[in-house]
Amino acid sequence: MTTFADLGLPREIVSTLSKEGITQPFPIQEAAIPDALAGRDVLGRGPTGSGKTFTFGLPMLARLAGSPSKPGSPRGLVLAPTRELAAQIRERLDDPAGALGLRVLDVVGGVNINHHIRALASPVDLLVATPGRAEDLINQKKLSFNAVEITALDEADQMADMGFLPQVRKLLDRTPKDGQRLLFSATLDGDVQKLIDRYMHDPVTHSTAPVEAAVDTMEHYRLLVGGREQRNEIAMQIAAREGKTIMFMRTKHGVDRQVKKLRRVGINAEGLHGDKSQGARTRALDGFSGGTTPVLVATDIAARGIDVDDVSLVVHIDPPAEHKAYLHRAGRTARAGTSGTVVTLVMDEQENEVAQLMRKAGVDAPEVKVAAMSESLVTITGARVADGAPLPPPGQPKQAGQAGARSGTRRGGAGRGRSGRGGSNRGSSNRSGGGRRGASRGRRGENQRRSNGR
């Protein structure tokens, strides 16, 4: 069995991972880390949840160790498309960096820029940034990339989809031309290929299973729900299930409206979209990660950085606009080789559109006609009737005498179903509270999940 020590990582990093129960590298890590340690440019292709953060992050830390950094001039740079992903990268690398005496800092939009300016006044070795905030800090002359020795782009395909590539190119042009580059993406084509051609030097490519193959660890269903009213009732019953559930809507307004509906029947749900403050986003993710918030309702872009253990069900209330979005949404479950269930609620007028979407995504999702609390609905999703006491808006305290989330729900139908089994909030390796550093230990599931049982 290959270990992280066998890959050539410093003993300080290996010891830190071992204390967290992380001993066996994932395939992409085993393949790519030695090349990255040797200074090669690396292209990593693999689905979400395949272990990419440690694949680029650990060798970056190893190569940065032993040399000083200056304020505002990091020697390592990671660019990520979303605030959530940037924060999770920083959290995951915090402890290995600390073991080497290195400092990791994340700078993202939605946070008062003065906080970042103050943080950059001290030396930072590895900077994790969203492109817009990095550019803002450079324009204010508080940040320089002149000293960057090694750069990683994470979720490069998503940055392309979000229109960030002009900013990314401008930022990469500010780094030394002879620096090492690591690029990780679910796909290496189109605009991502243009980045590769322009910035990478004789890169070595390492791939895990393509995104389409990742769907094999999931059960997919098209649930034929009839009209909008029936769909909304069914979505409510699915949300009342046991276990962690992510529900997707196409719009920010749709997210907010769905959260209000769920909380009115006692389901502790929170929303995630681009207009949420950083505090609200952090609260939602910490609650969902720790299990106190069992339902997260999100838009596509906001959810891209979600990496949470034990998400047993993904629900497309609104079917996605295109097949890539379906695969990225579905990737919130069945992470790192575990299994999960993905259901799409299909109204009558959407049947042809969704069938075409599934064909493009390479997904075999049988059609199942369901009704409120029907046997098939309960079997597939673990649906229950929700009739708990109403909850206040997220972040507001409960009124005196108000029951807890889901306290009034009752089980109905034919049983718990596959998705409801073992998906309760107990036993999660994540935990909320304890500040951002506490959350980092709770979220370090990328390798800790089944590290010895694979």
Between residues 190 and 176, the one the model is more confident about: 176
Write out the H or E segment, with its range, that includes residue 131: helix 131-139
Identical fold between 5-208 and 214-424: yes
If pLDDT is split at 50, 70 and 90, which confidence band does 332 have? confident
- Mean pLDDT (whole number) for 283-290: 88
pLDDT at position 354 over 70: yes
Tokens representing 122 are: 């001290």
- Mean pLDDT (whole number) for 141-160: 94
Provide the pLDDT for residue 357.
92
Provide the pLDDT for residue 372.
95
- Mean pLDDT (whole number) for 235-247: 95
Provide the pLDDT for residue 286.
87
Closest CA to 357 of 332, 316, 322: 322
- Mean pLDDT (whole number) for 113-142: 97
Between residues 224 and 340, the one the model is more confident about: 224
Distance (Å, whole) CA 219 – CA 209: 17
Between residues 160 and 253, the one the model is more confident about: 253
pLDDT at position 121 over 90: yes
If pLDDT is split at 50, 70 and 90, which confidence band does 192 have? confident
Distance (Å, whole) CA 271 – CA 252: 9
pLDDT at position 162 over 90: no
Provide the pLDDT for residue 434.
38
Provide the pLDDT for residue 145.
98
Question: Which CATH number is 5-208 given?
Answer: 3.40.50.300
pLDDT at position 248 over 50: yes
Judge residue 66's burial from the number of C-beta atoms within 10 Å of its C-beta, 0-12 exposed, 13-18 middle, 19 or more buried. exposed
pLDDT tens, residue by residue, 213-234: 445 567 899 999 999 999 999 9
If pLDDT is split at 50, 70 and 90, which confidence band does 49 have? low
Name the average pLDDT for the chain: 83
Distance (Å, whole) CA 243 – CA 379: 14
pLDDT at position 450 over 80: no
pLDDT at position 45 over 90: no
Between residues 61 and 308, the one the model is more confident about: 61
Distance (Å, whole) CA 69 – CA 76: 10
pLDDT at position 147 over 50: yes
What does the DSSP 8-state code read for residue 11? Answer: H
Computed over its alpha carbons, how large is the radius of gyration of the chain?
22
Provide the pLDDT for residue 211.
44
pLDDT at position 377 over 90: yes
pLDDT tens, residue by residue, 396-441: 776 554 444 443 344 444 444 444 433 333 333 333 333 333 444 4
Residue that is written with structure tokens 């970056």 in the block? 60
Between residues 210 and 136, the one the model is more confident about: 136
Range in 288-297, 337-346, 433-442 with the lowest mean pLDDT:
433-442
Distance (Å, whole) CA 362 – CA 212: 6
pLDDT at position 129 over 70: yes
pLDDT at position 338 over 80: no
Question: Which CATH number is 214-424 given?
Answer: 3.40.50.300
pTM more than 0.75? no
pLDDT at position 70 over 90: yes
Provide the pLDDT for residue 255.
94
pLDDT tens, residue by residue, 300-324: 876 666 667 688 899 999 999 888 7
Provide the pLDDT for residue 328.
77
Sorted by where each begins, the domain ranges of the chain are 5-208, 214-424
Contact between 285 and 272 under an 8 Å Cβ cutoff? The reply is yes
CB hemisphere CA count around 171 (13 angstroms)? 28
Distance (Å, whole) CA 212 – CA 327: 8
Provide the pLDDT for residue 312.
86
Judge residue 201's burial from the number of C-beta atoms within 10 Å of its C-beta, 0-12 exposed, 13-18 middle, 19 or more buried. exposed
